[in-house]
Amino acid sequence: MSSDVLTCDYCGYTFSDSRTVCPHCAQPQLFPNVSKATSEKEKDKLNSAFETKRQQCVDDDRGDEFSQFYNAVASSHALFACSLQKLHREVASGTEVFETYYQIAELRVQVTAPAQLDWDKLRPQAEIELLGTHQNIDKLHYACLSLDWGSLTGYGDCVVKLKENMIRHRASCFQGNSAVIYFLESTFDDCLRSCWDDRGKIAAAVFANRLTPGVPDTKFSSLLVAPGKESVDDEFIEVHVFGPMTLRTFAAVNFTANDAGKRKAIYRDAIIEKLDAAGVTHNGTG
């Protein structure tokens, strides 16, 4: 974990880049994940890796595919998948009634079924390593880059596309599942990260080896998001969105399963009503 120094544009004093506001003048709203990703060191690492991979592809006669893939991902969007219940709380949180629920949720005893990895332990550890401090734990939302509706399958039946203008300034990209990488490597020194605008670069640098000569652009989507057998085997570019989200942050929602249960139908219809009221497109029938 490292801590770099930022200089406040408003007051001119320096402070740690793990801060969300300048501690001297409280200006402006900052996003530590973006600050980290846009540090000179990370930028150099990303550019270096990008150039190396690009050169390798050019040497292997895959230069065009590399450029096409880079350009495609540069206009990709962020998706996350979740269960109906979780989405319901996300969309309902804007109503304030559910703000109470969120407060309670923080108190809940969170015990998950034993999985291959202990996410409850790894996730905060990885976040401390990512953000340089424990102060911003639990403030990140996780999504993945995608070119269509292709998403990771293990997280639920609702796929949510995020509005770019609501996340661009606070999103950063990472070269895979940060918790899994932390579990394997215990450090992110060799990992690539980028700001939102450089998402094409990081994806091209990470997945360049998958680009075969003559690969059609229709295959790019499956190259960018490759669900594994288990969630730990998923390959993707992780998007970190700092701060809260409501349904106003959503661009569209795709329900991938037809739920037969009465309760699920209630959840789904409640979500749809909320989405309709907020003008969020979806594939459900209200």
Binding residues vs another protein (CB under 8 A): 85, 88-89, 92, 95-101, 103-104, 106-115, 117-121, 262-263, 265-267, 269-270, 273-274, 277
188 Cβ neighbours under 8 A, 6+ residues apart: 129, 130, 178, 181, 182
Residue 97 CB, shortest distance to another protein, in Å, is 5
- Smaller CB separation from another protein, 248 or 263: 263
Query: What's the token pair of residue 221?
Result: 């989507």
The least distance separating another protein from the CB of residue 263, rounded to whole angstroms, comes to 6
Rounded to the nearest 10 degrees, the angle between the axes of helix 63-74 and helix 199-207 is 140
- One-letter amino acid at 91 equals V
CA–CA distance, 5 with 34 (Å, rounded to integer): 13
Nearer to another protein, 49 or 92 (CB): 92
CB-nearer residue toward another protein: 117 or 171: 117
Question: Smallest distance from the beta carbon of 131 to another protein, in angstroms?
Answer: 21
Instruction: Spell out the residues 6+ positions from residue 99 whose beta carbon is closer than 8 angstroms to its own.
Output: 93
Comparing CB distances to another protein, the nearer of 3 and 186 is: 186
CB of 8 closer than 8 Å to CB of 122: no
Select 114 or 216, whichever has its Cβ closest to another protein. Answer: 114
Phi and psi for 239 in degrees, rounded to 5? -105, 125
Nearer to another protein, 110 or 285 (CB): 110
Residue 160 three-state SS = strand
Q: Cβ 230 to another protein, closest distance in Å?
A: 14
Query: Taking a C-beta distance cutoff of 8 angstroms, is the pair 167, 145 a contact?
Result: no
Burial class (CB in 10 A: 0-12, 13-18, 19+), 28: exposed
In whole angstroms, the minimum distance from the beta carbon of 241 to another protein comes to 23
What minimum distance in Å lies between the beta carbon of 277 and another protein? 6
**Residue 128 Cα distances to 15, 29, 125, angstroms:** 18, 20, 5
CB 35 to another protein: min, Å: 28
**For another protein, the closer CB: 94 or 227:** 94
